[in-house]
Amino acid sequence: MTAAHLTDAEIAEQTFPLTQGAARIRYYKALGCKVKARPNGQPLVARADFDAVMLGQRLAKPRAPTPDYAALAAFQARP
């Protein structure tokens, strides 16, 4: 069974030669991962999120809904 988050050893291997937590966090953010800081300053990266980024399967951001101008005009035309 794999852990839900990357282990300290995996993070150290992937971010070598970086050792400071802030630098490692910037590295993962530059890759496009969602990162949180642990209380000790090291990054907390979800394994599923990291795998999705590495495989290029990152879901696109949902687009904001576009206004329905026809419905607005019909609403404003009501008596």
**pTM exceeds 0.75 for this model:** no
Indicate if the pLDDT at residue 3 is higher than 60: yes
Spell out the domain ranges in the chain: 1-60
pLDDT computed for residue 55 by the predictor: 87
Please write the tens of the pLDDT for every residue from 7-38.
999 999 999 999 999 999 999 998 889 999 99
Please write the tens of the pLDDT for every residue from 31-71.
889 999 999 999 999 999 999 888 887 655 556 677 888 88
Indicate if the pLDDT at residue 1 is higher than 70: no
CA distance 19 to 66: 45
Q: Where are the alpha helices (DSSP H) in 1-79?
A: 8-14, 21-31, 47-54, 69-77
